[in-house]
Amino acid sequence: KAGVTQTPRYLIKTRGQQVTLSCSPISGHRSVSWYQQTPGQGLQFLFEYFSETQRNKGNFPGRFSGRQFSNSRSEMNVSTLELGDSALYLCASYLQTGGNNEQFFGPGTRLTVL
């Protein structure tokens, strides 16, 4: 079974631009979560989606948004990029809601903002 796929793997943008990252979950998984990883703040939760509905949102500004499609693929968008948005963005997929899920992570998208 294929794992979680994230595209692109690497991205370089300049301040003020916007970016869209994509995540394809494991086949059959209906839930996707996104995390930001930085050296200073560690791993922080961005959003959680289940069946195209946002179920949970972390403490990030409105410039960070996401969505999930009917095939469970998910995208996240960051508008008006800031230097501090440089990070590894990780996507996790799992079967369903409820806390007792094994969450499988993709390799991440490394975003660099210049």
Partner 1 sequence: AQSVTQPDIHITVSEGASLELRCNYSYGATPYLFWYVQSPGQGLQLLLKYFSGDTLVQGIKGFEAEFKRSQSSFNLRKPSVHWSDAAEYFCAVVAPLIYNAGNMLTFGGGTRLMVKP
13 or 107: CB nearest partner 1? 107
Three-state secondary-structure class, residue 28: coil
For residues 46-105, which are near partner 1 according to CB under 8 A? 48, 55-56, 58, 90, 92, 94, 97-105
Burial class (CB in 10 A: 0-12, 13-18, 19+), 9: exposed
Q: CA 19 to CA 79: how far, in whole Å?
A: 7
Footprint on this chain of partner 1 (rule: CB under 8 A): 4, 6, 31, 33, 35, 42-43, 45, 48, 55-56, 58, 90, 92, 94, 97-108, 110
